[in-house]
Structure 1
Amino acid sequence: MSGDGADRRIFARIYTNRQHLDGQRVHTPAQETTRDHAPARPALQTARRQPRAGGPHAARRTRRRRRRPGAGATRARRHRAGAPSVRARGRAHAVSLVLRLVLVWLALAWSGSAAASGSEVLLEFRDDAVLAELRLPLRDLALALGRPLPASPLPVRGRLHAELARYLGAHIDPVSADGRHWWVELADMRVAVDADPQVLVAHAVLVPPAGASPRSFVLGYDAIARELPGHPTRLAIRSDWHGGVLASHPATIALLDAPRGRVAVDRGRDGAWRGWLAACRLGVRHAADGGRYLLLLLVLAVPAAVRSPSLLARIGTAFALGQTLALLAGAPGWFRVPADILHALAAGALVLAAVHAVRPVFAGRETWYATGCGLLYGLAAAGTVGALDLDGWQLAAAILAFAAGCALAQAALLAATLAVAVAAGLLVRRRTAWLPAKR
């Protein structure tokens, strides 16, 4: 019995191995006793070639082979119909976008050139009159007059001046609110050959009748537009101290043409404080844009901020005093220095200040040096104030307001420098607090 049991266990083990190699085939013990064991090796090879059903990659292969219904037919129809591919459609869209941008740019350029070819009337308000600068394209003016005009940079004089004065006087008609006409006088005329296109620049003085305000009137103007319908004219305020408008930033108020050649101008009377604020803002912007002189002041301020805040305050005050004195002398045109000389002097002063910051050169005389640097900056900025076309007390107020604006910007720079110096000192003291004190 023991021998029969051992044989049965061996036979059961052989049966199990054959069942695994043959797949899911089931064999009885009687069949195994009569089966030849020779083809066992080919059966093993066959079993290795056939993957088991339901393997780990079967579902993935099924999903890959699955196609959307009609996808192949749709692609075939597109190919037969010659439909553009995705890349071709992208190129067409890019080309269309570029063409649209080019068309927009051409339209803007054309509109800008059309606006530049029009006329301009720039008004400057004074206490008892209004000054007007007329800028008329020379080509359009010649068409309106029916005769050629010389493109000479020399002032227009003689018979041509008289003819142009009669023409412009007949097309300028300022009227007060009560219906009274103003007196118009045409002054000097010249051709600006450096402008594109060339323009005739004429200056006129508009004087109101007795008792009428020079700040409220109705302006009638149709020069060139009467003969050439559609010719535009830009009406702008170039200088109005009481209205807070300076010559550096003219304010457009209307666009005149032939059918609508009259416009009401009412500037009111807000007070001189608006002009003072406008000049102060101009000074702040000018000081912020003066990189060379701000750098010069900064190089002077850094060593002073490290030494003592009082020295920094004296340097800032001396710089502001020097620039104010230079503005008072240079803005009215009493004293001018060429810009090239000023730039060279400023560069030399900057180099000397940088050397002094490393190794003291003029120790104890920093305030006098800052005063000289302020004089250089004031002479360089005098042309900006002089270009405002102000006179009398308005020019004096503009100079002081401009200097105050520059001083405010420079004070902000000095305050920032002092704050950085104090913060750096506190940081160094905190980092070195653990060191033993010197005896």
Structure 2
Amino acid sequence: MRRALITALVVTAAFLCGASPASAHPMPHSVVLLDVHETSVTAHLQLPAGDLELARQGEPISAYLAAHIRPVTTDGRAWTVTIGDLTVGRAEQTSTGPYQEVVAAATLTPPPGGDIRHFIFSYDVIVHQVVTHTVLVSVRQDWAAGRVEPDAVQVGTIAIDNRTMTVPALDVNLAHGSTWSGVVAMVKLGGGHILAGTDHLLFLLILLLPAPLLAAGGRWRGPAGTRAAAGRIGRTTLAFTAGHSVALALSALTHLDIPAWPVEAFIAASILIGALHAVRPIFPGREAVVAGIFGLGHGMAFSFTLAEMQLSTGRLALSLFGFNLGIELVQLALVALVLPALVVVARTRIGPGFRIAGATVTGVAASGWLVARLGYPNPVAAAADGVGAHTTPLLLVLTATTLTALIWMLAGLRTRSVRRCASSGVASG
């Protein structure tokens, strides 16, 4: 008996030791991302394929998901669940290796009178069979709460209760939402989009670079008057605003399905043309017209951001207003920031060198973007994108340039004033 017991213990220990590497290997968890709309919630499911196969036991995936996703109102009334398209791909989580993942979308619609912002999320996909499985539930988009950025905020975790061996439902309470929160968030998103979109920023700046100059004989000559330069800069900025505002509204409200790459390539080409114009005048005096035309392409690019949100018509109209307002506020601030520098530098000996250097750097970046957006990745485009991820240094450079230009201008005015006083003193003497 003793020998048999010892043998059994040794076999058990050997089995456990041999199984420990596999059992200790972390298993991937599921992810549920909620997009909260005006009348429904879209749940984006990211499910480990292996665990899903084990849990559904041959049942069709759509039917299985519909049976195990059961949101209800706080008073117990069932929501309607509609399963959308399914795709399979590769995924990798921090604590696991690569694995196959099933991605699905479920539309959750409350009954009449149901609160879209507070519901009980009864969900046990995979968890009811794989007791070690965990589901992370996060809100990715919630316009009424001012959440329009892509970063998700976790609202809870779903896992089996080891004491009762049941899967408790998750109480999803998104608190109060308002139209004001949504509009303010869109203003911030628009402002952030123009700052993060280095290509949009460079296009505007490169068109403004030669604005304080007069063209003659196919070259940029002397500086224009301050009033003429300010007027040209103002018209160019307003035309660009009008162009992208019209395109943004049309493409967003009519739900135009435009491929992204031709629009992005068009934007890169517009920056390259602007850089060439800054070196040699291609369309002198017509910068506003060109800015308006090219602004149409930039507006289509902006519309991709709004299209991803799947907003209702009313919220989309308010979002267009807020998004555009954010863009314009940042553009006006940037124009006010660079206007003094452009006017002053154009009147100095370093003006031509400053213009050529700025146009060259911009042209190189635009060429890299154009090639990359036509399907040929390259280090120039990657470097330009890297700079775009850090707009603070660019803003600091613009600020320093403007301050230097203002100091230079004030010093020049003071010198001329002293000379005039000295001349008046000599004349009176």
* TM value normalised by structure 1: 0.63
| Structure 2 unaligned regions, length at least 5 | 1-23, 93-98, 162-166, 213-225, 345-405, 424-429
Deviation at 1:182, TM superposition (A): 1.5
Alignment check: 8 A CA contact 1:122 1:134 kept: yes
Higher mean alpha-carbon deviation, 227-236 vs 363-372, is at 363-372
Structure 1 position 213 matched with structure 2 position 105: no
- 1:139 Cα offset (Å): 0.9
Q: Which moved more, 1:428-437 or 1:399-408?
A: 428-437
Q: Which residue of 2 aligns with 1:151?
A: none
Identity %: 31
Partner of 1:96: none
Output aligned runs, 1:73-152, within 5 Å: 117-147=28-58
Offset at residue 123 of structure 1 (A):
2.0
Aligned to 1:252: 154
Residue number among 274, 283, 289 corresponding to 2:181 in the alignment: 274
What whole-Å deviation, never above 9, does each CA across 1:124-143 have from its counterpart, x for those lacking one?
Answer: 22333323222211111011
1:273 and 1:373 mapped to 2: Cα distance?
32
Look up the match of 2:81: 185
8 Å contact from structure 1 (residues 287, 409) kept in 2: yes
- Equivalents in 2 of 1:252, 1:333: separation in Å? 33
2:128 to 212, 226, 229: 226
Give the SS at the match of 1:192.
Answer: strand
Matched, 1:319 2:240: yes
CA distance in 1, matches of 2:270, 2:109: 49
Change (3 A) 1:395 1:199: farther
1:293 to 1:264, Cα distance in 2 relative to 1, 3 A: same
- Partner SS for 2:310: coil
Q: CA deviation at 1:339?
A: 4.1
Structure 1 SS opposite 2:34:
strand
Match of 1:176 in 2: 73
Task: Tell me the residue number matched to 1:95.
Answer: none
Alignment partners' CA distance in 2, 1:267 and 1:381 = 28
Partner letter of residue 248 of structure 1? P
Identify the structure with the greater strand proportion. Answer: 2
Say if 1:351 and 1:207 are closer, same or farther in 2 by CA, change over 3 A. Answer: closer
Equivalent of 2:200, from 274, 277, 293?
Answer: 293
CA RMSD of aligned residues (A): 2.9
Q: Structure 1 CA distance, aligned partners of 2:274 and 2:160?
A: 61
Q: What do residues 159-184 of structure 1 show as CA deviations (whole Å, max 9, x unaligned)?
A: x6xx3344223322222222x23133
Equivalents in 2 of 1:280, 1:209: separation in Å?
32
Q: CA deviation at 1:114?
A: 5.2
Runs of 5+ consecutive residues of structure 1 not aligned to the other structure: 1-110, 148-159
- Match of 2:129, SS state, is coil
Q: Distance in 2 between matches of 1:273 and 1:318?
A: 29
CA distance in 1, matches of 2:68, 2:80: 11
Q: Secondary structure at the match of 1:308?
A: helix
Quote how far apart the aligned CAs of 1:314 are. Answer: 2.0
Asked if the contact 2:148/2:189 (under 8 Å) is kept, the reply is no
Structure 1 contact 220–263 (Cα < 8 Å) conserved = yes
Q: Which amino acid letter does the alignment assign opposite residue 372 of structure 1?
A: I
Are 1:191 and 1:198, in contact at CA under 8 Å, matched by a contact in 2?
Answer: no
CA–CA distance in structure 2, aligned partners of residues 218 and 334 of structure 1: 33
Shift of 1:146: 3.4
2:66 and 2:83 in contact (8 A); partners too:
no
CA distance in 2, matches of 1:355, 1:207: 54
Tell me the alpha carbon deviations over residues 106-159 of structure 1, each in whole angstroms, 9 at most, x when there is no partner. xxxxx9x958x2112222223333232222111110111235xxxxxxxxxxxx
Query: Deviation of residue 231 (structure 1)?
Result: 1.0
Shift of 1:377: 1.4
Which residue, out of 124, 127, 141, partners 1:239?
Answer: 141
Tell me how far 1:432 sits from its aligned partner: 5.7
Judged with a 3 Å threshold, the aligned counterparts in structure 2 of structure 1 residues 336 and 364 are, in CA distance, closer, same or farther, namely farther
Q: Is the 8 A contact 1:186 1:202 kept in 2?
A: no
3-state SS in 1 of match to 2:144: coil
Query: Aligned partners of 1:435 and 1:347: how far apart in 2?
Result: 49
Q: Which amino acid aligns with 1:315?
A: T
- For 2:116, the aligned partner's letter is P
Q: Counterparts of 1:328-407 in structure 2 under 5 Å? A: 328-332=249-253, 334-335=255-256, 337-407=258-328
Contact 2:80 2:108 in 1 (8 A): yes
| Partner deviation per Cα, 1:370-396 (whole Å, 9 max, x = no partner) | 112321211222212211222321122
Instruction: Summarize deviations over 1:238-281 as a string: whole Å, max 9, x none.
Output: 22221112262322211211225322112233311111122222
Of structures 1 and 2, the one scoring higher in RCO (CA 8 A, sep 6+) is 2
Any idea what the Cα deviations from partners look like across 1:40-85, whole Å, max 9, x if unmatched?
xxxxxxxxxxxxxxxxxxxxxxxxxxxxxxxxxxxxxxxxxxxxxx
1:245–1:251 CA contact under 8 A, matched in 2: no
Is the 1:239–1:389 Cα contact (8 Å) retained in structure 2? no
User: What secondary structure is seen at the aligned counterpart in 2 of 1:303?
Assistant: coil
Q: Report the equivalent of 2:336.
A: 415
Counterpart in the other structure of 1:21: none
